């Protein structure tokens, strides 16, 4: 049975007993539950819906590579720059555009398949809604090969960085909002089984965001030419990849959902040293402005505010416009306790000033509390994707 699970039922699923216990439970008398869309379903139906949710959505899995370049090695050659693409297709595709999902730094496409504690991830949610999905591993990372003497230096996150920035921020309090973090499953620290599983999934990444950006522009553009148009969902470091791909292939990107995109403009923040970064505002490599920007100094910037370890730059008036991104609707989502809560508003303001149609939504403003940077893995992950992301896509694209 193919199910469209309403948000109330997603929340109910999280409170079900273990599946093994639930399958042996006695069915209680039928009663009606009214979903947020006004449709009434029985409690018996809700059990079946939750059962479907716990087991995932029937789909076909495929994979391919795109974007390779061949370099001479002795009497032969090797490929580099290609990206791994995982394609998930539900039995019933009923959405007009597929989703292309790009993970953040130190991660792979597995971030969105399921959670570290074994619950369903956003991939299954979107499959249940009838989306075809494409999940990549960024260039030179994970299943996208890193080639010695071609690709740049790599490094890995240590356990302290993961704990203090993502999974147990409330124990380290490196920024004011960190203490509000409550939604990570488990205690978020080394030795906790859920943390250990999550940390084991992290991988070495290129140190240079500029190098990664150039590689994703080439391979990602080739991917869009193959599968587009798409709805593009990015997280963290991949935030700038959304702007780059939207700029490179504006007709192939129908909307962008940016989960806490890398920022703020022009400078690193919160964690010292506060070095210059993203020379072209929200990207490390050139994108299309009008009037044109040939070198970073063509953008005249001014300081508009300062906060905890953060300097917020905007353009001096009159601002140059990001003309290729201007026709692509953007949703930015920021959690309550992440370090992004300090500066995402600055990034959104920069985009808006440059002519981008951006809707910046802070989760606590709509009553969703306790989340951190890895919101799509946390205890209320299905509430966020259903009530925030899918709702915006549906209203914006008309799905």
Name the residues annotated as catalytic. 236
- Give SS3 for 399: coil
Give the span between the Cα atoms of 385 and 150, in whole angstroms.
38
What tokens does 290 get?
């009008």
Give the span between the Cα atoms of 385 and 159, in whole angstroms.
27
**Cβ-based neighbour number of residue 197 at 10 Å:** 14
Left, alpha or beta for 91 (phi > 0: left; psi -120 to 50: alpha)? alpha
Distance of CA 22 to the CA centre of its chain: 32
Q: Which residues contact 256 (CB under 8 A, 6 or more apart)?
A: 231, 232, 233, 234, 242, 243, 246, 328, 329, 330, 331
The single residue listed with the structure tokens 């026709």 is 327
Query: Strands 40-42 and 59-66, how do they pair?
Result: unpaired
């Amino acid at each position: 049975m193919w199910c469209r699970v309403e948000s109330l039922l997603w929340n109910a699923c999280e409170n079900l007993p273990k599946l093994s216990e639930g399958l042996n439970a006695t069915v209680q008398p039928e009663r009606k539950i009214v979903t947020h869309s006004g449709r009434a379903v029985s409690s018996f139906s809700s059990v079946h819906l939750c059962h479907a949710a716990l087991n995932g959505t029937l789909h076909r899995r495929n994979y391919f590579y795109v974007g390779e370049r061949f370099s001479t090695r002795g009497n032969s050659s090797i490929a580099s720059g290609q990206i791994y693409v995982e394609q998930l297709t539900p039995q019933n595709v009923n959405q007009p555009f597929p989703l292309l999902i790009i993970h953040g730094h130190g991660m792979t496409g597995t971030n969105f398949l399921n959670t570290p504690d074994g619950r369903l991830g956003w991939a299954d949610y979107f499959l249940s809604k009838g989306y075809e999905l494409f999940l990549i591993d960024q260039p030179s990372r994970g299943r996208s090969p890193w080639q010695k003497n071609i690709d740049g230096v790599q490094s890995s996150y240590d356990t302290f960085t993961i704990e203090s920035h993502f999974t147990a921020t409330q124990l380290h309090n490196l920024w004011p909002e960190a203490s509000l973090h409550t939604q990570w499953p488990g205690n978020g620290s080394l030795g906790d089984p859920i943390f250990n599983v999550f940390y084991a999934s992290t991988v070495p990444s290129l140190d240079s965001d500029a190098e990664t950006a150039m590689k994703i522009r080439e391979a990602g553009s080739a991917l869009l030419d193959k599968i587009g148009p798409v709805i593009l969902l990015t997280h963290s470091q991949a935030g700038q990849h959304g702007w780059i791909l939207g700029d490179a292939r504006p007709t192939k990107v129908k909307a962008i959902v940016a989960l806490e995109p890398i920022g703020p403009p022009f400078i690193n923040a919160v964690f010292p040293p506060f070095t210059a970064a993203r020379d072209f505002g929200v990207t490390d490599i050139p994108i299309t402005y009008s009037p044109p920007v040939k070198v970073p100094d063509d953008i005249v910037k001014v300081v508009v505010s300062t906060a905890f370890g953060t300097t917020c730059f905007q353009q001096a008036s009159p601002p140059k416009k990001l003309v290729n991104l201007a026709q692509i609707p953007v949703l930015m989502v920021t959690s309550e306790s992440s370090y992004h809560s300090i500066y995402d508003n600055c990034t959104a303001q920069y985009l808006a000033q440059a002519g981008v149609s951006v809707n910046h939504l802070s989760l606590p403003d709509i009553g969703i509390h306790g989340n951190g940077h890895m919101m799509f893995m946390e205890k209320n992950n299905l509430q966020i994707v259903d009530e925030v992301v899918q709702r915006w896509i549906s209203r914006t694209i008309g799905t």
